[in-house]
Structure 1
Amino acid sequence: MQIFDEKEKARIDIRTSKEMKDIFENAAALKGVSLTDFLVESAYKNALDIDRQLEDQSKLLLSLEARRRLFDSLNREFEPNNKLKLAAQRYKHRRRAYESC
C-alpha cells in the first residue's frame, strides 16, 4: 500500500537495534511488503490513531467547557425582562380567576 505521492517524497532516517530491525523485516515479509512500506504504513496508522484520540479529547474538553458555561449561567443572578414580567402578571391574573370559580 503506497500512502504518499511519488512527487512529494521526504526522507526519514531512523536507527534501531538489530533485534527490532529483524522483527520489522520479518513482519514486512509476512505482510508481503517492503520494510520501508511496512514502517511508513505502521507509523502513519499510529499517527492517525493518536490524532483521532486528541480530537476526541478536545471534543470532551469543549463539552466540559460548555457544561461549565451552562452551570455558570444557571447560577447567575437573573433579572427578568419586561416580556417575562408581563407573562408572569398574566399567569397570576388567570390563576386567580380560575381559583375563584
Structure 2
Amino acid sequence: MPIPTTKHKQEFERLEARISNEKKSFLKHAADLVGRSLTDFVVNSAYEAATRVIKEQEQIKLSIEDSNTFISALQNAPTPSNVLIAAAKKYKKEIISK
C-alpha cells in the first residue's frame, strides 16, 4: 500500500558541520536545558541568527552625508502647492471626518 502524501510535501536537505567536542557538549547542554534535541536546537538557533542578520543587513543604511541630505530635505520642504492643499482638505473632509 502506498504511503499517503500531502499536497504540500516539504523536502529536506542534510546540513553537516564539524565542531570540537567542547562546542558540541556546550550546545548539547543548552539544548537539554530547553528540552530540545541537539539538532532542533542548532537548526533553530542558526535560523534565528540568519533571520536577524538578514534583517539587519537589508535595512536602509545611510552615510552621514546621505543622512544630512535627507534631514535637510525634510526640514526645508518646499511650500505645498494649491493642488496639494486642496487634496489634503478633501482627504480630511472625506476620510478623517468619518
TM-score by length of 2: 0.54
Runs (4+) off by over 4 Å: none
The residue aligned with 1:45 is 48
Q: In angstroms, what is the RMSD of aligned CA positions?
A: 2.9
Give, in whole Å, the separation in 2 of the partners of 1:64 and 1:48.
27
Unaligned runs of 5+ in 1: 72-101
Shift of 1:60: 2.2
User: Looking at CA atoms only, which structure, 1 or 2, has the larger radius of gyration?
Assistant: 1
| Bigger share in helix | 1
| 5+ residue gaps, structure 2 | 1-7, 74-98
Q: Which has the higher contact order (CA 8 A, sep 6+)?
A: 1
CA displacement, residues 16-71 of structure 1 (integer Å, 9 cap, x when unaligned): 00000000111101110110000001100001110111012xx1239928x38x88
Report the CA distance shift for 1:22/1:47 in structure 2 as closer, same or farther (over 3 A).
same
| Amino acid paired to 1:33 | R
Give the equivalent residue in structure 2 for 1:34.
Answer: 37
Query: How many equivalent residue pairs?
Result: 64
Asked if 1:61 corresponds to 2:81, the answer is: no
- Percent sequence identity is 35
